[in-house]
Amino acid sequence: MTDIAMPGAPRKGSLLVRDARTARRNAAEARFRTYGLIAVLLGLLALVVLVVSIIGNGASAFRQSYVTVPVTLLEEKLDKSGTRDPAVMAKVSTFGYAPLIAAGVQDAMDAAGIEIEGLSTKGAGGIVSKDAPAQLRDFVLSNPGLLGQTVDFTFLASGRIDGYFKGRVTAQTAALDKNVSPEQLLLADALKEAGALETRFNWSFITAPDASDQRPEAAGLGVAILGSFYMMLVVLALALPIGVAASIYLEEFAPKNRITDVIEVNISNLAAVPSIVFGILGLAIFINFAGLPQSAPIVGGLVLTLMTLPRIIIPSRAALQAVPPSIREAALGVGASKMQTVFHHVLPLAAPGILTGLIIGLGQALGETAPLLLIGMVAFVREYPSPPIDGIFDPATALPVQIFNWTQRSDPAFVERASGAIIVLLIFLLIMNLTAILLRRRFERRW
Amino acid sequence: MNDLALAAKTEAALKPKISAKGVDVYYADNHAIKNVDVNILDKTVTAFIGPSGCGKSTFLRCLNRMNDTIDIARIEGEILLDGEDIYDPKVDPVQLRAKVGMVFQKPNPFPKSIFDNVSYGPRIHGMARNKAELEEIVESALRRAALWDEVKDRLLAPGTGLSGGQQQRLCIARAVATAPEVLLMDEPCSALDPIATAQIEELIDELRQNYSLVIVTHSMQQAARVSQKTAFFHLGNLVEYGETGHIFTNPEDSRTEAYITGRIG
């Protein structure tokens, strides 16, 4: 070794004294940590505000007011001929049933000794949902034998009365509202006192179909949940095999040349294409060209499959890439074929990553709204779709579209419904993400 | 052993198991192996030595076509196994690799049980008709790899839970289980401590009774201890090939001498 002078002199100075440079570096680090902490706190704050506002608005959708009234099923009103012929009885429309319910409310008032000035019998009947006559008519048509008797029925209270108990409607607003009067509110209070009106958990919010603008209290998510479920079935059945097969082929078998490069770039591009574009594609190809029915889960599922595919392929390829090459070499070294190597060794190790990608992709598809608007899923559907597989061709809506639909309605009761539906959607998404985490934990293996 | 049997054994040992003629390997434009001719004998340990990047691992991987998995690799020349060209288009590399097993630098057991690790090869090659036969194969492979006594009570435990040296012996057992004729070892001891290394070297010496072994190593002492033949590679050329004793005591090429005396490499 020749003598080469080192640049700069040896460091001198006590270790106990911090020099200016070190102090600056430490300050920079402290600043960076603060920024990070602020960013995380802001994110958390936004999440808390979101959750609180959604739950604050929507939790009440799961509770609903019900009125129990004794309804006398008058024979002369409901079956004038007295033949009990269903065809004849069906001629009496819901308008014929409404007065019976009003009379029933009056009877309930009389029984409880409630007297309210300025409230007619018809007005008293107004506290019951407009859905009630249809419910009563269905009951009578299927039980004609009960005609002439008095039966206790539990009906939904009207949206305004329900809103009164949820704080949405007050005596002041009722005075200005032609759908509800302050006297009706007094009656509701009195009935509640007497035990004929109660607020309880509302299963029909989850199971019932949508209802019209005048009956927010009857609107439910049944059709939307079924529609979303059918679409997820279609997406799962198509996107899982196609996505996994494509990623395995591209990652393990495809030659690396210009064509596969172009394919790779385009898969990444597809993941970034706005979802509404897929909606237009679906409208043009699946509905206009292939002639599939509008508003059907099959079309929604196909569109969402297209949208989800790149989002499954990209994480699946990443999972396959993450399998160490030594495992592949080991398998090839004992004479396994390429396919045996992939299916016996690589795929099991990549499975947790693929599953996670799949479930997150499904979760995104479940929450997707825009493409569904274009293929007619934003419809008013009161009929449940049939069971699968036929059901995927029946009209249905989807959860996010139902939320969108309800936010468009004028009655404030639908605001509550929409927030409630968001809670249901978020619960489904939470369950799916939780499943992803659990599956990853369960199948993750070390090597 | 009578003279006749001894003569026959010598005869068999002298017959080349693998013979490479004019082998050139290119990685894209990089000429990694330059015109290598070598005859690898049966029932012999052949060591490939040389500085890093000299092409010894590349050449080793040509012998069971592991380089096929690298898209940019291109091989010219002829490699004969028992007189058959292994790069003939009719040859399926899967069949070749069953005959020419390989053990890698880093122990790479499958993340499965010890039993599954060893039985995988026999299973995919259909070597066992039933479970009893398979168990027999696994036991004999583990015995040959001197691992049986250590793992016989926990065959269903994960292979990745063994120590480094045990894992490497498991990999050797896995390679042996497919009943290969040639066993290639790519620096099998570089990730192991001296005790595990000694066990593996002892094992290599025992395996020599049945197989032709080729071992790539960075340790010249190891090459001197375990091999009968040594090939010295430098910058893609096969510089010198001969009896191990001869190479280490009396190298003919100045580069070999420089390497084994520590002046290059």
Of A72-81, B32-41, B54-63, the range with the lowest mean pLDDT is: A72-81
User: Is B179 an interface residue toward A (CB < 8 Å)?
Assistant: no
Per domain, the residue ranges of chain B are: 15-109+180-260
In the stretch 235-254 of chain B, residues with CB closer than 8 A to chain A read none
Q: At what angle do helices A222-248 and A399-407 cross, to 10 degrees?
A: 130
User: In whole angstroms, what is the distance from residue A15 CA to residue A199 CA?
Assistant: 73
Per the model's pLDDT, the better-predicted residue between A121 and A231 turns out to be A231
**Inter-residue contact B182 to B125 (CB < 8 Å):** no
Average pLDDT value over all residues in chain B: 87
Average pLDDT value over all residues in chain A: 88
Write down the pLDDT at residue A95.
84
B153 burial level (CB within 10 Å; 0-12, 13-18, 19+): exposed
Contact criterion met (CB < 8 Å) for B101 and A333: yes
pLDDT in tens, A188-200: 888 888 888 888 8
Write down the pLDDT at residue A300.
92
User: Is B108 an interface residue toward A (CB < 8 Å)?
Assistant: yes
User: In whole angstroms, what is the distance from residue A378 CA to residue A374 CA?
Assistant: 8
**Inter-residue contact A286 to A238 (CB < 8 Å):** no
| Mean pLDDT computed over A408-436 | 90
Query: What percentage of chain B has pLDDT greater than the value 90?
Result: 32
pLDDT in tens, A298-349: 999 999 999 999 999 999 999 999 999 999 999 998 888 899 999 999 999 9
User: Per-residue pLDDT for A205 more than 60?
Assistant: yes
Interface residues from chain A to B (CB-CB < 8 Å): 255-256, 324, 326-337, 340, 344-345, 349, 445-447
Contacts of B41 (CB under 8 A, 6+ apart): B13, B14, B15, B16, B17, B212, B229
Nearest to A333 among B95, B97, B124 (CB): B97
Nearest to A334 among B69, B106, B178 (CB): B178
Nearest to A334 among B71, B96, B121 (CB): B121
Contact criterion met (CB < 8 Å) for B120 and A329: no
User: In whole angstroms, what is the distance from residue A359 CA to residue A37 CA?
Assistant: 30
User: Per-residue pLDDT for A204 more than 80?
Assistant: yes
Helical segments of A59-143, H only: 75-78, 86-89, 94-112, 121-125, 132-142
Contact criterion met (CB < 8 Å) for B104 and A340: no
User: Per-residue pLDDT for B32 more than 60?
Assistant: yes
User: In whole angstroms, what is the distance from residue A320 CA to residue B237 CA?
Assistant: 37
User: In whole angstroms, what is the distance from residue B128 CA to residue B122 CA?
Assistant: 7
Nearest CA in chain B to A326: B108
Contact criterion met (CB < 8 Å) for A334 and B104: no
Write down the pLDDT at residue B72.
86
Write down the pLDDT at residue B45.
93
User: In whole angstroms, what is the distance from residue B232 CA to residue A342 CA?
Assistant: 36
> Which H helix or E strand runs over B60?
helix B56-62
Write down the pLDDT at residue A17.
84
| Mean pLDDT computed over A123-147 | 86
User: Per-residue pLDDT for A294 more than 90?
Assistant: no
Confidence of residue B8 (pLDDT cuts 50, 70, 90): low
B20 burial level (CB within 10 Å; 0-12, 13-18, 19+): buried
Q: Which range is most confident: A39-43, A122-126, B52-56, B78-82?
A: A39-43
Pick left, alpha or beta for residue B12 (phi over 0 → left; psi -120 to 50 → alpha; otherwise beta). alpha
User: Is B94 an interface residue toward A (CB < 8 Å)?
Assistant: yes
Is residue A389 reached through a cis peptide bond, with omega within 30 degrees of 0 on the bond before it? yes
| Mean pLDDT computed over A56-65 | 88
Write down the pLDDT at residue A3.
54
Confidence of residue A159 (pLDDT cuts 50, 70, 90): confident
Contact criterion met (CB < 8 Å) for A328 and B69: yes
Structure tokens at B191: 């990730």
User: Per-residue pLDDT for A46 more than 60?
Assistant: yes
User: Per-residue pLDDT for A1 more than 50?
Assistant: no
Nearest CA in chain B to A325: B108
Of A341-355, B161-175, B251-265, the range with the lowest mean pLDDT is: B251-265
Nearest to A332 among B69, B111, B125 (CB): B69
| Mean pLDDT computed over A428-445 | 85
Strands B229-234 and B237-243: antiparallel
Task: Delineate the domains of chain A, giving CATH numbers in brackets.
Answer: 62-202 (no CATH), 222-443 (1.10.3720.10)
| Mean pLDDT computed over B180-205 | 88
pLDDT in tens, A22-41: 899 999 999 999 999 999 99
Is the domain covering B15-109+180-260 a CATH 3.30.1360.200 domain? no
Contact criterion met (CB < 8 Å) for A334 and B97: yes
User: Per-residue pLDDT for A152 more than 70?
Assistant: yes
User: Per-residue pLDDT for B13 more than 80?
Assistant: no
User: Per-residue pLDDT for B1 more than 50?
Assistant: no
pLDDT in tens, A10-20: 777 788 888 88
Contact criterion met (CB < 8 Å) for A447 and B125: no
Q: How many CB pairs under 8 A join A and B?
A: 70
Nearest CA in chain A to B61: A333
Contact criterion met (CB < 8 Å) for B160 and A340: no
Strands B100-103 and B182-186: parallel
User: Per-residue pLDDT for A45 more than 90?
Assistant: yes
Write down the pLDDT at residue A124.
85
User: Per-residue pLDDT for B255 more than 70?
Assistant: yes
**Inter-residue contact A117 to A141 (CB < 8 Å):** no
Write down the pLDDT at residue A447.
46
Nearest to A334 among B69, B106, B120 (CB): B120
Contact criterion met (CB < 8 Å) for A327 and B178: no
Question: Which value does ipTM take for this structure?
Answer: 0.85
| Mean pLDDT computed over A258-283 | 91
Nearest to A256 among B71, B106, B177 (CB): B71
Query: What percentage of chain A has pLDDT greater than the value 90?
Result: 34
Per the model's pLDDT, the better-predicted residue between B191 and A158 turns out to be A158
Q: Which among B259, B238, B197, B209 has a CA at the least distance from the CA of B48?
A: B238
Write down the pLDDT at residue A60.
87
